[in-house]
Amino acid sequence: MPITKGKKYLFFVFLTNINIILKILEIMNRIESFGMTQEEKVKYWVDLAEEDLAVGETLVKNEHNLYAVFMCHQVVEKVLKGYFRRHSAVQARF
């Protein structure tokens, strides 16, 4: 059975979701394990947001707009986590 463009796309989506899950687990492990300072945690979230933004820009260039929007959502979420890490007296687990 030949692999069509649609099947390739679904496989890409599947791999992307697995990579996202693995990245989340890696983030959780790093933050909880290494006793990072507050500023290191802020920098960590901002660095991840910048990386996700670069991925989003690549997805737009390759006309994967739906997933580019998802990556933009991830950027906003991570920037907000960094912001609240820096400015909130009550700290979230991550």
Q: How far is the C-alpha of 82 from the C-alpha of 94, rounded, in Å?
A: 10
Kindly report the pTM of this predicted structure. Answer: 0.60
Q: Tell me the C-alpha distance between 23 and 70, whole Å.
A: 15
What is the per-residue pLDDT for 89?
A: 61
Return mean pLDDT, the chain: 77
CA distances from 87 to 40, 42, 73, 84, 92 (A): 14, 10, 21, 5, 12
Q: Which of 71, 41, 80 is nearest to 53 (CA)?
A: 71
Which residue type does 4 have?
T
Report the alpha-carbon distance of residue 82 to residue 58 in Å, rounded: 24
pLDDT for position 9: 58
DSSP H helices, 1-94, are 5-33, 38-61, 65-87
Q: What is the pLDDT of residue 1?
A: 47
Low-confidence ranges of the chain (pLDDT < 50): 1, 33
